[in-house]
Structure 1
Amino acid sequence: MLARWEKRLSTQDQPTDGWLLLATASLLIIGWVMVTSASSEIATSLTGNPYYFSIRHGVFVVFSVLVGLFALRIPLERWRAWGPGLLLVGVVLLIAVLFIGREVNGSKRWIPLGIANVQASEVAKLCLIVYFADYLQRYLPEVRRDWGAFLRPFVVLGVYVVLLIFEPDYGAIVVIGGCMMGMLLMSGAPLWRFGLVTILVVAAAGFLAVAEPYRLERITSFANPWADQYASGYQLTQALIAFGRGHWLGLGLGNSVQKLFYLPEAHTDFVFAVLAEELGLIGAVSVVCLFALLIFRGIRIGRKAELRGWAFSAYLCYGISLVFGAQAFINIAVSTGMLPTKGLTLPLLSYGGSSLVVSCVMVAMLLRVDAELRAKMRASRVARQAKQSEQGER
């Protein structure tokens, strides 16, 4: 019985990983629907058109899918060769945003390009993953054996972290740092080294948390948002009210009360709270399961590549899966009050062109690794059948 279901759910005989495509397409569609619902009132207030943000988000979705299809055609070997150049591109973007970036809510994170803005940290995140996957392929034995090879990536990470602090974008720092640590861990580096590095990272994070009064205020308001619910704890309390209203099945699509100017950033950082209010616990858990499916399939593809000895492809898949997992977890944890407020979008769901484009490119990379693996398996199968046929004729 179990074997029968396993055969039915398997994508081995399919041209691509259908489960990965299903999770991605579902999240994109749900995101478009929820952005339309969550942004209608604020769009009406700002522009007079309730579908202003919905139309823009739809354009972003279509454009992101097209960019993803283009990225799908790029061979992995070419991505690997571009690794050092992409790392430089990420640094240049993070420097450029400090000088020509548009300031929003006290942070310079967006480079204005006329009709749209590019979030530098989103592009830099992808650049760093590609570079680091290439680094692990070239120096994997040394990373497992030598302190120097293990610590060199932290120098590169340190440059990114310093530039992100100047924006500031602490959410991106957590995601990028967690991704790199995860990739190092999955490369087989000794665990005791991670213990030492983790102590230093936690100490540095603690210092950054108390270095500025507004950061300390965020932590204290996170611990008890109801103590100052109309000031520092306002966003979190409104998000928690949205979750409380949702119950099991929600208030119904479009019936959110919190999006009526109560919950700030309802269509961007806190879209998950509106989703929980309108679709309830069932809808919220379904979205979490879709993210889990996407991450699981990404790691599974990476594991297949690793077993074949494709180190770059494997760590590229691991890094992408870790970024999706970390960013989704942090966004949902912030909305539910498990973590202090961070300015992170929910991948594939939240409003924002940069996040959508980069997310679709990362999914395309996963699909490219899967496609090259399937092509290799088909070639091996054909060669094996040809050999068996030749032996049979003899």
Structure 2
Amino acid sequence: MRASRTITVGPSVRYVSLLAAVLLLILTGVVLVLSATSATVITSPDRPLHYFSQHLWSVGISLGVLGITLGIDYRHWRRLAFPMAAASIALLVAVLVAGRQVGGARRWLEFGAFNVQPSEIAKLALIVAMATFLDARKDQIDRHDRILRPSMLILAVGCCLVLLQPDLGTTLILAGIGVGMLFVAGLPGRDLGKIALVVGIAAPALAIAAPYRRARLAGFLNPIEGRADEGYQTFQSLVGLAQGGLRGTGLGAGQAKWGWVPNTPTDFIFVIVGEEMGLFGAVGLLLLLGVVGVGGLRTSQRAPDEFGTLLAAGIAIWFVLQTFINVGSVVGLLPVTGVTLPFLSFGGSSLVVTSAAAGLLLSVTRRSG
């Protein structure tokens, strides 16, 4: 007679891979932000490490938030869906009224020494709200009045408030998250086709509606001819990437951050990657981001319930879509939109909320088969 034995099940390979990829990305972001902000030694000699110190604070808070959301059972987030949605809408309205204006846009609320970007919070709030709503009505997915119309109302409110800031890039990300979650929930193809048609018409129309967006579009279409004006940022970004070659110039040895490419610590951090780490480093970083995105989608397939499936899918779609838009803007495949690269860019709100979402994804992964 064979003796019985106890089998201890450890963390899954997918869980360990996701956690390792997230931590490596955050650590790499620290190095990249230090390099991208090193020019402040010359421009601000009295506070040479001001921005880097801010980023370290954000990293510390992000790691704490990551640990908290990872440790909480993801099913508890159902009860937070309505409060999160209400708070997110209130913050989006508040930023339009009392937000700090930078470059003609109101995207930040100031709370003492801290700046909060409500549109980042709106991404996570939308995912939790949509997952809760679709899970509660999963048996009525074919009914327009019960699924499609309320979902479109939720998306329309969030997208319109973000678009008024104005922030077209984040608006498209919110729309992409919502449509992707409806697809995962099983919305019929005819309804998804209608939504895709509306988005396909609205996106180009919004892109040419404002003069500054038309200028960005012209710079995207003709970066060489417009390199002294509307195409300057795209052209200089391509030059920086070309200088990196296969192996890069070495960390800290790049030239793009010395004023040649605007916003290198935030929207154009990938230029630092391509120039200083080369093609090999850029591909390696994209592979890490791919581990998070693909791992999240695999988690959505194996989640123990519908809520976990939708939650993991929404977060994975968010990370993949935002990475595609950011990197696409840097390499000239898309017009400049002004969104950050997940886990890597300088920016407290973006990093903290992204880390919270990663912890939530890991919580689902931990409880998946």
* TM-score category (smaller protein): over 0.9
Contact 1:303 1:314 (C-alpha < 8 Å) held by counterparts: yes
Aligned to 1:221: 219
Q: Alignment partner of 1:112: what SS?
A: strand
Contact 1:37 1:254 (C-alpha < 8 Å) held by counterparts: yes
- Structure 1 residues 101 and 186, CA, compared in 2 at 3 Å: closer, same or farther? same
- TM-score normalised by L of structure 2: 0.94
Aligned to 1:391: none
Match of 1:120 among 94, 106, 118: 118
Which of these two proteins has the greater Rg computed from alpha carbons?
Answer: 1
Between the aligned partners of 2:169 and 2:103, the Cα distance in structure 1 is: 15
Whichever residue aligns with residue 146 of structure 1, its letter is R
Instruction: Name the count of aligned residue pairs.
Output: 359
Aligned to 2:229: 231
Distance apart, 1:15 and its partner CA: 6.7
Distance apart, 1:195 and its partner CA: 1.4
Q: Alignment partner of 1:108: what SS?
A: strand
Distance apart, 1:367 and its partner CA: 1.6
Contact 1:226 1:233 (C-alpha < 8 Å) held by counterparts: yes
Aligned to 1:240: 238
The answer on 1:339 being equivalent to 2:339 is: no
Between the aligned partners of 1:66 and 1:193, the Cα distance in structure 2 is: 41
Between the aligned partners of 1:261 and 1:232, the Cα distance in structure 2 is: 16
- Once the two structures are superposed, the pairs formed by residues 1-394 of structure 1 within 5 Å of their partners are 13-14=10-11, 17-42=15-40, 44-46=42-44, 48-143=46-141, 145-148=142-145, 149-305=147-303, 308=304, 310-373=305-368
Contact 1:90 1:125 (C-alpha < 8 Å) held by counterparts: no
Whichever residue aligns with residue 209 of structure 1, its letter is A
Contact 1:43 1:53 (C-alpha < 8 Å) held by counterparts: no
Contact 1:43 1:52 (C-alpha < 8 Å) held by counterparts: no
1:142-188 superposed Cα distances (whole Å, 9 cap, x missing partner): 12x11221232111111111111210111111111001111111111
1:70-103 superposed Cα distances (whole Å, 9 cap, x missing partner): 2223332321111112111110010010111111
Contact 2:247 2:279 (C-alpha < 8 Å) held by counterparts: yes
Between the aligned partners of 2:116 and 2:349, the Cα distance in structure 1 is: 6
More helix as a share of residues: 1
Whichever residue aligns with residue 232 of structure 1, its letter is E
Uncovered stretches (5+) of structure 1, i.e. residues with no partner: 1-11, 375-394
Whichever residue aligns with residue 160 of structure 2, its letter is V
Stretches of 4+ aligned residues off by more than 6 angstroms: none
Uncovered stretches (5+) of structure 2, i.e. residues with no partner: 1-8
Residue identity over aligned pairs, in percent, reads 35
Between the aligned partners of 1:370 and 1:258, the Cα distance in structure 2 is: 39
Whichever residue aligns with residue 20 of structure 1, its letter is L
RMSD: 1.5
Between the aligned partners of 2:155 and 2:61, the Cα distance in structure 1 is: 30
Between the aligned partners of 2:187 and 2:268, the Cα distance in structure 1 is: 37
Whichever residue aligns with residue 366 of structure 1, its letter is L
Between the aligned partners of 2:41 and 2:156, the Cα distance in structure 1 is: 39
Whichever residue aligns with residue 105 of structure 2, its letter is S
